[in-house]
Structure 1
Amino acid sequence: MAPRALWKGLLRIAEVSCPVALHAAASNSGRVTFHILNRATGNRVRREFVDADTGKPVEKADQVRGYEIAEGDDLMLDPDEIAAAVPESDKTLEISDFIACKDIDPVYFDRPYYLTPAEPMAEEVFALIREGMRRKQVAALARTVLFRRMRTLLIRAHGAGMIATTLNFDDEVRPATEVFRDIPTARIKGEMLELAKHIIATKMGVFDVSGFDDRYDAALADLVKAKLEGRRITQRKTAKRGNVVDLMTALRESAGRGTKKPAHKKAVARQRKGG
């Protein structure tokens, strides 16, 4: 049985519609989590909101949002005012455009969701849309109100289902030129480029996420287990950084070629030894 859907609605292209469901594709539930405790009593500590000036606790019913219009001056917004301003959801993923998969810039990707048919009667239409996109090697752009926000989603065929990825808005993504502008232009060619290509070729593999692990989370799990078993906890040593070497030498060594002395230097060395 598929896990409970986070959202249900209609996927629509022109006059064709299909009941669909969104499921979380990523989860942090398996991570090690901690509570904040009082060291003296061992009791859990409760988070509490207090008035910045009076220092007195503020009950949840008295907490409202504020928008800073000047330093120390906030515009107060009631929950009802915010709710009225949020667009109402019509529970429809309206496909506006199809784009070539090769044209997708992953820098705009936000969060992935699995998209499935919401009911058995929808499976045929769902399969038709999925296979049409797979054959044409395109993805669909659709918009809807999702979790109280208007979101744009990129929908792609994936196995027996589809993946719907929420996209960051243009003003949420920093232009690459802002970060890259100070990187100097360098022309790499000749043996240096050939060595780099050789190293890449020897390291080619396939994407297998099962080979990746969260070392930080694993270390925390080991720490908890050691404490429970009363074992001594030893600090993990970090790998030492190697000496900075000449780039060409490092490339040759990485490629397994090593550094070779020129032939005339070898001849001079033999003459000095009397060979």
Structure 2
Amino acid sequence: MRSHAPRGAARGIWSGSISFGLLQIPVSLIPAESRSDELHFRLLDRRDLAPVRYERVSTATGKPVEWKDIVKGYEIEKDSYVVVEPEDFAKANVKATQTIDIQDFVPRDQIDPAFFETPYFVVPQPRSMKAYVLLRDALKKRDAVAVATFVLRTREHLVAVMPGNNGALMLEVLRFGHQLKDVEDVPLPAPSSTAAPSERELAMADQLIGGMMSDWEPRKYKDRYYRDVMKVIEEKASTGATTEHHARTAGTVARDDVVDLLALLEKSVAKTGRAANETRPGPKKARATRAGGARKAAKKRRAA
């Protein structure tokens, strides 16, 4: 039975800078989600415990298809596909940059938790600690979130940078607006006078909640499914209930420049003030919808 590997230093998956006005704050991103305790299973043939592999089989011929003959297709209607080649995907690839570009600052309580997708720790470089703490504390003072964009691999992501309760800045990858259902599409019951709670009911519910209030301690909540499955596995392993299959014979260059944070902040604030005083352009005309029966008929399903 495999033992858990000793924990080492967490590794970053991206490095660059947070672009904040005229400030550039060198940072790296480390995944906040731990996958070390995930359960992983192999599919086996019960008869001889040989690992099972999947084959790519044509639904028309029932025969295996080689990788060189496989393309990706987008189904626009039943059994009708648009083939998308690698060069087509390349047209949609965003040029990679080394910056997290802050677009807006918004009140923290305005972002619904449903938009949050993947958390990362934002780790400062030693030379950028002062600017890092400055951004963190300024966000905390305003109870604000920095909404930004950055490119990871070949995909641009919408993200929120915010102070965490752990003293670090956290980056949350956000879902785009079109990725969430509108509440109007959810079959919620219509409000009615009979559904409104009475003052006494509300007071009792408040009392119940008050009696159960406690500080947030995430480690006191246990994954019982993982615990119980691992218990079964360990018991089987300790009693010798294991079987073996016997195979048949056959970056960026660092800079040490000293940055005058106050001067850059003053310039950034002045620049922001000038932009706010300029006459804003009127609303843009809606873009014409592209014609094309294929696009109109698209059901927004991607082929695997």
So what's the TM-score if we normalise by structure 1? 0.77
1:204 equivalent among 187, 207, 213: 213
- TM superposition shift of 1:89: 1.4
Report what 1:18 is aligned to.
25
Which stretch of structure 1 is more off in the superposition, 64-73 or 93-102?
64-73
Distance across 2 between alignment mates of 1:100 and 1:107: 16
8 Å contact from structure 2 (residues 136, 169) kept in 1:
yes
Distance across 1 between alignment mates of 2:29 and 2:14: 5
Structure 1 residue ranges (4+ consecutive) displaced by more than 6 angstroms after TM superposition: none
1:42 equivalent among 26, 43, 49: 49
Which SS does the other structure have where 1:50 is aligned?
Answer: coil
Distance across 2 between alignment mates of 1:180 and 1:115: 39
Q: How many residues align?
A: 231
Correspondences of 1:103-252 after superposition (within 5 Å): 103-117=110-124, 119-158=125-164, 159-179=166-186, 181-185=188-192, 186-230=195-239
- TM superposition shift of 1:79: 2.0
Distance across 2 between alignment mates of 1:229 and 1:2: 31
Distance across 1 between alignment mates of 2:12 and 2:118: 15
Which SS does the other structure have where 1:131 is aligned?
Answer: helix
Unaligned runs of 5+ in 1: 233-275
What residue identity is the alignment partner of 1:148? T
Distance across 2 between alignment mates of 1:71 and 1:207: 49
Report what 1:84 is aligned to.
91
Matched, 1:68 2:68: no
8 Å contact from structure 2 (residues 13, 30) kept in 1:
yes
What do the CA deviations read for 1:189-230 (whole angstroms, capped 9, x no partner)? 143333222211111111110111111111111121222234
Q: What is the root-mean-square deviation in Å for CA atoms of aligned residues?
A: 2.1
Distance across 2 between alignment mates of 1:170 and 1:100: 17
Distance across 1 between alignment mates of 2:117 and 2:107: 19
What residue identity is the alignment partner of 2:65? V
- TM superposition shift of 1:26: 0.8
What do the CA deviations read for 1:172-192 (whole angstroms, capped 9, x no partner)? 111223325325431211433
Report what 2:36 is aligned to.
29
- TM superposition shift of 1:14: 2.1
- TM superposition shift of 1:104: 2.5
Q: Which has the higher contact order (CA 8 A, sep 6+)?
A: 2
- TM superposition shift of 1:121: 1.9
